[in-house]
Chains A and B, each alone.
Chain A
Amino acid sequence: QQQVKQSPQSLIVQKGGISIINCAYENTAFDYFPWYQQFPGKGPALLIAIRPDVSEKKEGRFTISFNKSAKQFSLHIMDSQPGDSATYFCAPGNSGNTPLVFGKGTRLSVIA
């Protein structure tokens, strides 16, 4: 079942620009909303995560925005750098015994 829809599939952004990746989910039981980052040849790694009690969380150039009513959350990368070029996955989950549900991924390329 398609519990998580991530968009866009791929994204090209100029250096210094803003990258925005969106994730829509169906399961209202989700209460944990992370984004993972994967570089070529590596496993995914947690980038940033948010709980539903806040609408936004910022860590450096990375921000998660959460819209509970729309069942969406997004990743914003400010001042995008070539080193941010990677594949990004949303992976919502909950405190029960079901695992994180990974989206299909967004391949981001930041060009100079």
Chain B
Amino acid sequence: DAGVIQSPRHEVTEMGQEVTLRCKPISGHNSLFWYRQTMMRGLELLIYFNNNVPIDDSGMPEDRFSAKMPNASFSTLKIQPSEPRDSAVYFCASSFRPGIGEQFFGPGTRLTVL
């Protein structure tokens, strides 16, 4: 298996633009997670899905952030409009179950908002 796939790996955009991050989880995994990592705040869970259904989005910082999982093999995290404080590394991870067993992380998307 190729592991969790994220695209793009790097994104540089200007403030106010829409940003879409993409994730393909490992086939057969039922849970998908979006994290944001910064030096100041560490690794933050933004939202997670179970069987394609959003379970908890309490970590999403603002209404500018939205996430979808239209099928078991694809998820997006969208920021509209983007702001400089959104600059971070965004990770997608998947697992068989949310709270037990290994979570497999993708390589991350480094987002820079100018």
Contacts and interface: CB of A to CB of B under 8 A. Distances in A.
- Which of A93, A104, A105 counts the most chain B CB atoms within 10 A? A93
A12 to B, nearest CB: 18
A93 B100 contact: yes
Contacts, number: 60
B52 interface: no
Interface string B78-114: 0000000000000101000111111111111000000
B52 to A, nearest CB: 14
B45 A94 contact: no
A56 B77 CA distance: 39
Contacts of A96: 98-99
Interface residues of A, number: 23
A97 B55 CA distance: 9
B97 A95 contact: yes
The size class of the interface chain B forms with chain A is: 20 to 34
Contacts of A91: 103
B7 to A, nearest CB: 14
B103 A46 contact: yes
A97 B98 contact: yes
A89 B91 CA distance: 15
A69 interface: no
- Which of B31, B56, B99, B101 counts the most chain A CB atoms within 10 A? B99
Contacts of B31: 99
B43 A93 contact: no
Given A32-B99, A42-B107, A46-B103, A97 B50 contact: yes
7 contacts: A32-B100, A43-B105, A43-B106, A89-B43, A97-B98, A97-B99, A99-B99
Given A46-B102, A99-B56, 8 more contacts: A31-B100, A32-B101, A93-B99, A97-B97, A98-B56, A100-B99, A100-B103, A102-B45
